[in-house]
Amino acid sequence: MNIAEQNLKADDILKQIFGYSSYRNGQEEIVKNILDGKQTLAIMPTGAGKSLCYQIPAIASELKTVVISPLISLIENQVADLRENGVKVEKLHSNQSSQNRESAWNNFANGECKILYISPERLMTETMINSLKQLEIGLFVVDEIHCVSKWGQSFRPDYEALSKLKTIFKNSNIAGFTATADKTTRLDILDKIFNLEAKTFIKGFDRPNLSLSIVQKTNWKSQIIEFIANRKFQSGIIYCISRNKTEEVATYLNQNGYKASAYHAGLDGTTRDKIQNLFMTEPYHIIVATIAFGMGIDKPDIRFVINLGIPDSIESYYQQIGRAGRDNKPSDTLVIYGLDDLVTRRRMIEQNDNNNEYKLLENKRLDYLLSLCETPKCRRKVLLAYFDETLEKCDNCDNCHNPPLLIDGTILAQKLMSTIYRTGQYFGQAHIINVIRGSEDKKIIERRHNSLSVYGIGKDQSKQFWQSFLRQLLASGHLRINFQKFSAIELTSSGVEVLKNKQKFMFKEIILKGEKKLIRQENKQFDKLTENETSLLNELKSLRLKIAKTQNLPAFTVFHDSTLKQMSHLKPKNEIEMLKVDGVGETKLRKYGKVFLEAINIHTH
Ligand code: ADP
Ligand code: ZN
C-alpha cells in the first residue's frame, strides 16, 4: 500500500470507526507525519485528542503497533474504548492473570490483532524484548512521554529505560505524546528517545474562551468577593498554597452566602470523595483546594478558577485555569498574588531535598510565571509563547482590555536600591520599605537606620506602592531574594546598572485598589453626622471605652475617632463592608469586628 492509499484510509477510519466528521487542530498533521514513517513528538493539552493521532495510524498500518502507557487505568480505558469501536486490540500489564497475558500475547504475535497496549515494566524485560524482536513492529507509541525526563513533573525510572528502544528496534518508528513538557523537558525527551531526530508538534494550547486576569493582593477577602459577586449560581475552584488557607477561605465564603468546601490532602479519602461528588453533581459549588484537587476532574461547566497565591510554574497555572470552561463557554480566571506568596514559593523550592541543578530549574520556572504576572503585554501571548505556540489576537485578558501605562521609574528604583544597599543587602522587603518610608518601627531605631541618608526618601509613596514596585524590580531581574540570608533582598548585576544610571527602568503603572480613594471621598460627605448617626457614634464610643478598659489600653488604640465616625455613617452590615472603613484592617477586624458589627446592627434595627 502506498502513502496516498494510507492517507485515504486514515480519513475513512476517522469517520467510520471513530465517527468524527473532521480532525481537530493539529491531529491531521500528526497522523500524516506518523504515517509517513517519521518520528513524532506531539505536545497537546489534555482533552485535545492525542489518542486519535496514533490510533488512526496504528489501524491504518499493516504493521504492528506497541503502545506504552504508564498507568494501568489508562490502558484499560483505551483498550475498552477501542474495542467498543470494533478495533481489535490486546493489553499486557501486571494486573492480569498469567492466562490472560498468555492469550493476549498469542493474539498479538500471530497477527489476530496488531495493536498491543503495554506497561513499561512489562515491556522492558529481556524475554519481552526478545519476543518482540521476532515480530515486525512498525511503530512504538510512548504515551505520557514526559515521564522519561527528570525535568518533567512525574519522572519514572522505568520510563527512562525506554531510551533503549531506539537502538534495539532500529527499523521501527517512534511517536511520543504528552500534555506537558517545557523546552528543557522536550530537549531531554528528544535526546533520550529519538536521538534528536523527531519532528515536534505543539498544538491546541490556546483556550480563547478563558479570560485571564492577574492582580496584586491587597485584601484577598474583598478581592475574591468582588470577583464572584455575580457568580452565586456558578461552579468554581479557588486554589490556595496551604491547607490552612483553604479552610479559612471556605469558611469565609460560607459565612458570606456561598456554598464552598475546603479540599486538601489532609482530609481522609471518604470526605474527599464526598466533596468531589457534591462538586460534580451540585449546579453551584465552590471548591477551595490545594493542588490535590483536580486530577481527573472533568466537569465541563466550571465557570471560574481563582489562584489565591502564585502557582509554582506556568505549567501548573495553565493546568489549573484549564479546568474552567471545558464546554467552551466564556469562563474567567484570576490570580491574586503578593510578594509573601512569592517568598513562600521560593522557600518551598529551597527546602526541598532536590539537588541544586533541579532547584535552579524550579526557580527559573517560577521566574517565568512571575514575569507573566508582571508583564505589561498581552498575557495570553506571553503564556502561549511559553509553550512555543504563537497567537494573532487575544482581546480577552486584563492587559488587552486595559493596557497598562509604562512609566520611567529609574529614579524611584535608584531610591529603593540605595536603601537596600545602605542597609547592607541584609533585610527583607518589610524592613526596606519601612526605612524608605521613614517608619518609626522598633527594628529601625535599634539598628539606627533612621540616621541613614535614605531614611524616609520614599515617604511620598504608600507601602502598597513600594511592595508592587519592588515586585516589578524582582520580576525584571534587577533584584533577587537570597534564601541563604533569611530572604534578604539583594541587587543583581543588572540592578547595579540601574543604580549607576547605566540602564533605565520602566515600570507598569501601579493602580492601588480604588477602595481607599473612594472611601476618602465618602469621608468628606459625612463630616456632619445626622442625629441618628451621632447617637450611634456615642454608643460606639462607649463600647470602645469598655474594651479599652478591660485590655488596659488607651481608647484610640482600639479605633480612632475618625474610624468610629465613618462606621456610624456607613453602618457596615458584614465583615467586607467593615473592611472598607478607614482604620479597619484584618487584625482589628478579627479582634473587634464582631462586637462593633453587633452594636451597629442593634442600633439600626
Ligand atoms: P487527550 O489524550 O489529548 O487528553 P483524548 O484523546 O482522550 O484527549 O480525547 C479527548 C476527547 O476528544 C475524547 O472524547 C475523544 O473521543 C474526542 N475527540 C478526539 N478527536 C476528536 C475529533 N477529531 N472530533 C471530535 N472529538 C474528538
Ligand atoms: Zn490579551
Confidence band (pLDDT; 50, 70, 90) for 2?
A: low
Give the separation between CA 80 and CA 77, rounded to whole angstroms. Answer: 5
Pairing of strands 331-337, 210-216: parallel
Among 61-70, 279-288, 482-491, which stretch is predicted with the lowest mean pLDDT? 482-491
Any atom of ligand 1 within 6 Å of the Cβ of 166: no
Q: Does the CB atom of residue 20 touch ligand 1 within 6 A? A: yes
More confident call, 389 vs 87: 87
Q: Which residue has the higher pLDDT, 294 or 565?
A: 565
User: What's the CA-to-centroid distance between 309 and ligand 2, angstroms?
Assistant: 21
| pLDDT on residue 50 | 95
Mean pLDDT of 413-422: 97
Residue for cell digits 501601579?
A: 510
Residue 104: per-residue pLDDT: 97
Q: Which ligand 1 atom sits nearest the alpha carbon of residue 44?
A: 3
Comparing 321 with 521, the larger pLDDT belongs to 321
- Which ligand has its closest atom nearest to the C-alpha of 42? 1
Which of the listed residues 15, 18, 29 should we mutate to test ligand 1's pocket, taking the one with most ligand atoms within 8 A of CB?
18
* Ligand 1 contacts CB of residue 52 (under 6 A): yes
Average pLDDT over residues 86-91: 95
Residue 321 CA to ligand 2 centre (angstroms): 15
User: Which atom of ligand 1 is the closest one to the Cα of 48?
Assistant: 3
Say how far apart CA 554 and CA 589 lie, in whole Å: 18
* CATH class assigned to 210-401: alpha beta
Task: Please work out whether the CB of residue 465 comes within 6 Å of at least one atom of ligand 1.
Answer: no
- Ligand 2 mean position to 342 CA, how many Å? 24
Per-residue pLDDT, 515: 36
**Is residue 163 lining ligand 1, measured as CB closer than 6 Å?**
no
Ligand 2 midpoint to CA 50 (Å) = 27
Q: Is residue 272 within 6 Å of ligand 1 at its C-beta?
A: no
pLDDT at position 514 over 90: no
Report whether residue 74 contacts ligand 1, using a CB cutoff of 6 Å. no
| Per-residue pLDDT band at 525 (split at 50, 70, 90) | very low
Q: Do domains 210-401 and 406-508 have the same CATH topology?
A: no
Residue 50 CB–ligand 1 contact under 6 Å:
yes
| CATH of region 3-202 | 3.40.50.300
Is 24 touching ligand 1 by the criterion CB < 6 Å? yes
The ligand whose atoms approach the alpha carbon of 177 most closely is: 1
* Closest listed residue to residue 341, CA positions, set 381, 369, 380, 305: 369
Q: How many A from CA of 23 to the centre of ligand 1?
A: 10
Mean pLDDT to the nearest integer, 379-400: 87
Cα angle, residue 46 at apex, residues 29 and 10 outer, rounded to 5°: 30
Whether 51 lines ligand 1, by a CB cut-off of 6 Å, is yes
- 283 or 540, which is more confident: 540
Burial class (CB in 10 A: 0-12, 13-18, 19+), 548: middle
Kindly give the distance from the C-alpha atom of residue 253 to the centroid of ligand 2, in angstroms, as a whole number. 30
**Which helix (DSSP H) or strand (DSSP E) does residue 406 occupy?**
strand 406-408
Q: Which atom of ligand 1 approaches the CA of 22 most closely?
A: 23
Cα–Cα distance, 137 to 191 (Å, whole number) = 22
Structure confidence at residue 7 (pLDDT): 64
Tell me the average pLDDT across 503-518: 69
DSSP per-residue codes, 370-398: HHHHH-SS-HHHHHHHHTT---S----BH
Arithmetic mean of pLDDT, 133-160: 89
Q: What ligand has the least distance to the C-alpha of 393?
A: 2
| pLDDT beyond 60 at 67 | yes
Cβ pair 507, 469 in contact under 8 A: yes
Q: What is the pLDDT of residues 447-461, one digit of tens each?
A: 999 999 999 999 999
Q: Which amino acid is at 500?
A: K
Whether 46 is in the pocket of ligand 1, judged by its Cβ within 6 Å, is yes
C-alpha span between 377 and 85 (Å, rounded):
46
Rounded to an integer, the average pLDDT of 517-526 is 37
**Mutation pick for ligand 1 pocket among 17, 20, 43 (CB with most ligand atoms within 8 Å):** 20
Domain 406-508: assigned CATH number: 1.10.10.10
Q: Is the pLDDT of residue 282 over 60?
A: yes
Instruction: Map out the domains of the chain as residue ranges.
Output: 3-202, 210-401, 406-508, 531-604
Residue type, 366: L
The residue that leads in pLDDT, 580 or 193, is 193
- Tell me, in angstroms, the distance from the centre of ligand 1 to residue 472's CA: 41
The model's pLDDT over 107-118, given as tens digits with 9 standing for 90+, comes to: 999 999 999 999
Residue 21, beta-bridge partner list: none
Rounded mean pLDDT of 75-95? 93
Instruction: List the single range of 23-32, 268-277, 575-584 with lowest mean pLDDT.
Output: 575-584
pLDDT value at position 1?
Answer: 53
pLDDT at position 8 is 65
Which amino acid residue places its CA nearest to atom 13 of ligand 1? Answer: 49
Average pLDDT for the chain:
88
Label residue 519 by pLDDT band (50, 70, 90).
very low
Report how far ligand 1's centroid is from the alpha carbon of 49 (Å): 3
Cα of 198 to ligand 1 centre, how many Å?
Answer: 23
Q: What is the pTM assigned to this prediction?
A: 0.63
- CA–CA separation, 363 vs 183, rounded Å? 15
Nearest CA, atom 26, ligand 1: 20
Tell me which ligand sits closest to the C-alpha of residue 372. 2
Ligand 1 geometric centre to CA of 250 (Å): 34
Indicate which atom in ligand 1 lies nearest the CA of residue 81.
Answer: 16
pLDDT tens digits for 240-279?
999 999 999 999 999 999 999 999 989 998 998 899 888 9
| Each residue's pLDDT tens digit, 147-206 | 998 776 678 888 899 999 999 999 999 999 998 887 788 899 999 999 889 999 998 788
Q: Name the band, by pLDDT with cuts 50, 70 and 90, for residue 522.
A: very low
Residue 367 CA to ligand 1 center (angstroms) comes to 33
For ligand 1, what atom is nearest to the CA of residue 18?
16
> Does residue 516 register a pLDDT over 70?
no
Looking at the chain, the whole-number percentage of residues with pLDDT higher than 70 is 95
Annotation: CATH topology of 531-604: DNA polymerase; domain 1 (1.10.150)
Instruction: Supply the residue whose CA is at minimum distance from atom 2 of ligand 1.
Output: 50
Q: Is 47 in the pocket of ligand 1 (CB under 6 A)?
A: yes
Q: What's residue 26's pLDDT?
A: 87
Answer whether 467's CB lies under 8 Å from 489's CB: no
